[in-house]
Chain A
Amino acid sequence: MIKLEELTIKKFREGLAKKEFSASEVARLFFDYIEVKDKEIEAYLSLNRDGALERARQIDAAVASGKEIPSLAGVPMAIKDVILIEGLPATAASKILEKYVAAYDAGVIKKLKAAGALFLGKTNLDEFAMGSSTEQSAFKVTRNPRDTSLVPGGSSGGSAAAVAADMAVAALGTDTGGSVRQPAAFCGVVGMKPTYGAISRYGVIAMASSLDQVGTFSKTVEDAAILFKEIAGHDPKDATSATVTYGDELVNPDFHKIRELTVGVPEEYFIEGTDAEIISAVQGVMKEFETLKIKVKKIHLPHTKYALSVYYIVMPAEVSTNLARYDGIRYGERAKSENLLDLYYQDRGNGLGLEPKRRSILGTFVLSAGYYDAYYAKAQRVRALIKQDFDEAFLDVDVILTPVTPTLPFKLGEKASDPMQMYLSDIFTITLNLAGLPGISIPVKGRGDKLPIGFQLIGRPWHEADILGLGRYYEQS
């Protein structure tokens, strides 16, 4: 008897190798379960039944013939609907891309296909990955599997909910200001955003190009490491993707070295307005580190308080340029109109939701002549100071520990009408995107039936092995 709730990438791999089950059997079980469960959760926008079952048959044939199978062979995954898979829809949860079918595979999908993964379907998100609750999708509202009256977080809420509800073994999302880590914390799964440039962004529908990174959702930190190892690496089609190579320590950490890491705890992340339960849970993690003989020390990141302001200038500026391509000319339905200008107004006015409109207009403003220096150029300078804070802190410590979110998962509808309140839910995660650093959200242990809380480990650039290693040490202890 296969228990979907117990399947991790690691267990799936072992079970498949020992022929305890076939890839086809597991894929069919997932689709059967999704059919029932997703009526309640609404994590998926579209399913890839035929493609996934065909892939499963190929994997089973390879296993039967005794061939060596790749590391993610047959692993059932969910993919956020901003990542292109050739021949499948990629809507970004926007009306303007409702009928768009991906013409090619994203770089990260090419890597997953080479590793044998199968794709169950495409998951819901806030339109164009803009939001923190997955309520701002043009198509449906996803619910938190831990309590369906609550939001799953966002923008990658569909991917987080799919993994948390056992409707996928693992998933991909994207993270521009916390869109992987915040929903991971809200749904009680592991979510990692790697260093900027670690994973190819080719074929990922762009929101803010200097902040966007692909990230992973999984049930364990070990799975996050396995998945990241497969999808990291240079892609000539993404000029910002780095040529860094990661070693075996990602998946096989040396716990002697991990025990010698120094963990910094920044005072600026334990501020008034943060839920007391979250502060005490993260302090509990800090105490557990100390019990495990890991050195913990207080640090300061003085420019943290300006991060939200910097983010809400830099991000919309990049949004306004990236979303300029959605003009009704090359994709989607074209309005009937007298002239080209009117066509733009109509197609963008009808096709884009309120949040993409809000950000495009704000971005147009901060980049406009007369305001550029006061807003955009100023924000870029303060962004440099935020990064400098981290550079200085990392002279002293190896890893930084913080909360992921200031609040527990909130009610559906609670913040939907107040953009400033919604933006504040990313306050502890956006600093990493501004500084380009890797971060992982890991569920605090021992919460039982209580709502999940996540803690965040932040590493030096390209030192994912530190946060994954320490995370696994915590997970296993």
Chain B
Amino acid sequence: MEFDVEYFARLARIRLTDEEKTRLAKELSDVLAYVEELKRVDTKDVAPMTGGTDLRNIYREDESVRNVFDDCGKGPANFPDTKDGFLKVPKIFE
């Protein structure tokens, strides 16, 4: 199958150069051709393995551990743009 690289790159929010588009369209078609072999495996009645572990859910009391407004650690030092200590983001609504 021909891989629609432009459509899925757009969904992944990645801009590609024309050269990258040509290259990835071919390479991803090759990968999809390779994984076709899975269709031959009989998986009737096999439950999907949905994680790396058989461990069970872990619960804790729904209590606040730390108030991030009092202490947000050193995270904000990496923000590209800030205002009054908050992360400043581009306008979403006009």
Residues of A within 8 A of B (CB): 86-87, 99-101, 103-104, 196-197, 209-211, 239-240, 242, 303, 305-306, 308-310, 312-313, 320, 324, 327-334, 337, 339-341, 343-346, 348-350, 352, 354, 357-358, 360-365, 368, 375, 377-385, 387, 419-420, 433-434, 436
Q: A339-B90, A364-B11, A387-B49 are in contact. Are A331 and B24 (CB under 8 A)?
A: no
A-B interface contact total, Cβ < 8 Å: 165
Complex CA gap A380/B41 in Å reads 12
Provide the B1-14 mask, 1 if CB < 8 A to any CB of A, else 0: 00101001101111
A100 contacts which chain B residues (CB < 8 A)?
Answer: 78
A-B contact pairs, 7 of them (CB 8 A): A101-B78, A240-B53, A331-B79, A361-B24, A377-B48, A385-B43, A420-B34
Chain B nearest CB from A327 CB (Å) reads 7
Residues of B within 8 A of A (CB): 3, 5, 8-9, 11-16, 20, 23-24, 27-28, 30-31, 34-35, 37-39, 41, 43, 46-53, 55, 58, 73-75, 77-81, 87, 89-92
Find out whether the CB atom of A385 lies under 8 angstroms from the CB atom of B46: yes
Complex CA gap A101/B73 in Å reads 12
Find out whether the CB atom of A361 lies under 8 angstroms from the CB atom of B77: no
A420 contacts which chain B residues (CB < 8 A)?
Answer: 27, 30-31, 34
Complex CA gap A343/B90 in Å reads 9
Chain A interface main SS type:
helix
A209 contacts which chain B residues (CB < 8 A)?
Answer: 52
Q: Which 4 pairs from chain A and chain B are nearest by CB?
A: A349-B15, A380-B48, A381-B43, A103-B74
Find out whether the CB atom of B41 lies under 8 angstroms from the CB atom of A385: yes
A375 contacts which chain B residues (CB < 8 A)?
Answer: 35
Q: A309-B35, A419-B31 are in contact. Are A357 and B8 (CB under 8 A)?
A: no
Chain B nearest CB from A53 CB (Å) reads 22
Chain A nearest CB from B34 CB (Å) reads 6
Q: A320-B12, A344-B13 are in contact. Are A306 and B52 (CB under 8 A)?
A: no
B31 contacts which chain A residues (CB < 8 A)?
Answer: 312, 362, 419-420
In the complex, which of the residues B13, B41, B87 contacts A348, with contact meaning CB atoms closer than 8 Å?
Answer: B13
Complex CA gap A242/B54 in Å reads 10
In the complex, which of the residues B14, B35, B87 contacts A345, with contact meaning CB atoms closer than 8 Å?
Answer: B14
Q: A344-B13, A419-B31 are in contact. Are A210 and B80 (CB under 8 A)?
A: no
A210 contacts which chain B residues (CB < 8 A)?
Answer: 50-53
A433 contacts which chain B residues (CB < 8 A)?
Answer: 52
Complex CA gap A353/B10 in Å reads 16
Residue in A closest to B11 when the chains form the complex, CB atoms = A364
A341 contacts which chain B residues (CB < 8 A)?
Answer: 13
Complex CA gap A357/B3 in Å reads 14
Find out whether the CB atom of A306 lies under 8 angstroms from the CB atom of B14: no
Residue in A closest to B41 when the chains form the complex, CB atoms = A382
A239 contacts which chain B residues (CB < 8 A)?
Answer: 58
Find out whether the CB atom of B48 lies under 8 angstroms from the CB atom of A364: no
B20 contacts which chain A residues (CB < 8 A)?
Answer: 354, 357
Find out whether the CB atom of B38 lies under 8 angstroms from the CB atom of A310: yes
Find out whether the CB atom of B5 lies under 8 angstroms from the CB atom of A361: yes
Find out whether the CB atom of B3 lies under 8 angstroms from the CB atom of A312: no
Residue in A closest to B13 when the chains form the complex, CB atoms = A344
In the complex, which of the residues B34, B53, B87, B90 contacts A309, with contact meaning CB atoms closer than 8 Å?
Answer: B34
B46 contacts which chain A residues (CB < 8 A)?
Answer: 381-382, 384-385
Find out whether the CB atom of A368 lies under 8 angstroms from the CB atom of B11: yes
Complex CA gap A436/B50 in Å reads 12
Q: A333-B80, A384-B49, A387-B49 are in contact. Are A357 and B38 (CB under 8 A)?
A: no
Q: A349-B16, A361-B14, A383-B49 are in contact. Are A103 and B34 (CB under 8 A)?
A: no
Chain A nearest CB from B67 CB (Å) reads 17
In the complex, which of the residues B5, B73, B87 contacts A329, with contact meaning CB atoms closer than 8 Å?
Answer: B87
A211 contacts which chain B residues (CB < 8 A)?
Answer: 52
Complex CA gap A21/B25 in Å reads 58
Interface centre among B8, B28, B89, B91, by most A CB within 10 Å?
B8
In the complex, which of the residues A103, A337, A364, A436 contacts B52, with contact meaning CB atoms closer than 8 Å?
Answer: A436
A334 contacts which chain B residues (CB < 8 A)?
Answer: 80-81, 90
